[in-house]
Structure 1
Amino acid sequence: MLDALVHQGKFGEDYVRVLASAAGLLVSKDDVDHDGVDLCIKLPGQSLRGWAPMIEVQIKTTSRPRRRAAAFDYDGLNQKQFNRLAGANFVVPRYLFLIIVPKDAAEYAALNTGGLLLRDVGYYVSLRNEELIEQPSSAKHVRIDVPTANVLTVNTLRRLISADPDQDRG
């Protein structure tokens, strides 16, 4: 059996892979997580943005979400991780995906006559408009507001890849 946190993180990545597959998108993973990117998600072929537009994502999971008004307060990124997602100086748009998972790993998935149910829900946020932290520390964490309206679905995943990153403020 996997360590509980490794299991939770793997499920989060697999959750995103399932959504990308359902959306008809391609998923790849760098051989080393050097740049703070867990997955690259690409639309195959030509689109309004050109050939094979893609996004890069950092996936985080939590089984104890802290909701405040219309957002989750997420404190799981340290300052160095934050700087790998923040600002507009990326060729490929980057997003933070927050996957809310059940506390009990036995509840991650359920099969019934209607199909396979993955629990619970994923959310996304762009940190493109955030200022970089000068002299970032891996010991200090940054609070990220992840809007509850930014639900990660097949359609929103396609939109994130197809949209002009300068127009997407999510």
Structure 2
Amino acid sequence: MLDARNHQGKFGTDYIRVLASAAGLMWSQDDVDLDGVDLCLKLPGRTPAGFSPRIEVQVKTVSKPEIRHGFLNFDGLDRTQYNKLAGTGFQVPRYLLIVHVPGSDREYTDLSTAGLLLRHIGYYLSLHDHPVVPDTDRRRHIRVKVPVSNILTVESLHALVLDTAVLSTR
């Protein structure tokens, strides 16, 4: 059985996989995580935005989110993880996806005759306009503020992939 931390992280990644599948996206995963990318999400084939547009995502989870003034304050990125998402120069756009999960793994899902419920909710944030933190910065973790309006849904995940492709062709 997985320890609590790995179980929570795996559930968060699986939550994203389910949303991606529902959005008609394909997901893939590198066999080794060297670049700070948990999943690549793409829309296969020709689209108005180009051929097989894609994004790369880092998935994090939080069981007790700190939400203030319309933002989820997330302190779960160390400097290295943050820098693998921040700034410009990425060939494929990157997003931080944060899944708010229940405190108990027994509450991750609920099954009824109406279907399977995944708890709780996911958020997204692009850090392309955030500066890279220099190696001399001794902060252990970098706080990012995620607008609570950036809710991950089938539609928003699909739009992130397509909107990114449109932006990258300009």
Scaled by the length of structure 2, the TM-score of the pair is 0.94
Confirm whether residue 16 of structure 1 aligns to residue 10 of structure 2.
Answer: no
Tell me what 2:111 maps to: 111
Confirm whether residue 46 of structure 1 aligns to residue 46 of structure 2.
Answer: yes
Q: Any runs of at least 4 consecutive aligned residues in structure 1 with deviations exceeding 4 A, and if so which?
A: 136-139, 165-168
Deviations 1:76-98 (A, max 9, x none): 00111111000121010000000
CA separation in 1, counterparts of 2:88 and 2:115?
Answer: 40
CA separation in 2, counterparts of 1:33 and 1:22?
Answer: 25
Tell me what 2:134 maps to: 134
Query: How much does 1:139 deviate?
Result: 6.3
After superposition, where does 1:1-170 map in structure 2 within 5 Å?
A: 1-135=1-135, 140-164=140-164
Identify unmatched segments of 5+ residues in structure 2. Answer: none
The verdict on how the C-alpha distance between 1:150 and 1:4 changes in structure 2, with shifts beyond 3 A counting, is same
Whether the aligned pair in 2 keeps the contact of 1:79 and 1:136 (CA below 8 Å) is no
The verdict on how the C-alpha distance between 1:69 and 1:51 changes in structure 2, with shifts beyond 3 A counting, is same
Query: How much does 1:124 deviate?
Result: 0.3
Give the length in aligned residue pairs: 168
CA separation in 2, counterparts of 1:69 and 1:123?
Answer: 16
Whether the aligned pair in 2 keeps the contact of 1:78 and 1:138 (CA below 8 Å) is no
Whether the aligned pair in 2 keeps the contact of 1:74 and 1:144 (CA below 8 Å) is yes
CA separation in 1, counterparts of 2:70 and 2:148?
Answer: 5
The verdict on how the C-alpha distance between 1:95 and 1:167 changes in structure 2, with shifts beyond 3 A counting, is same
CA separation in 1, counterparts of 2:143 and 2:166?
Answer: 23
Deviations 1:48-102 (A, max 9, x none): 2311110000000010100111111000001111110001210100000000000
Scaled by the length of structure 1, the TM-score of the pair is 0.94
% identity of equivalent residues: 52
CA separation in 1, counterparts of 2:136 and 2:102?
Answer: 32
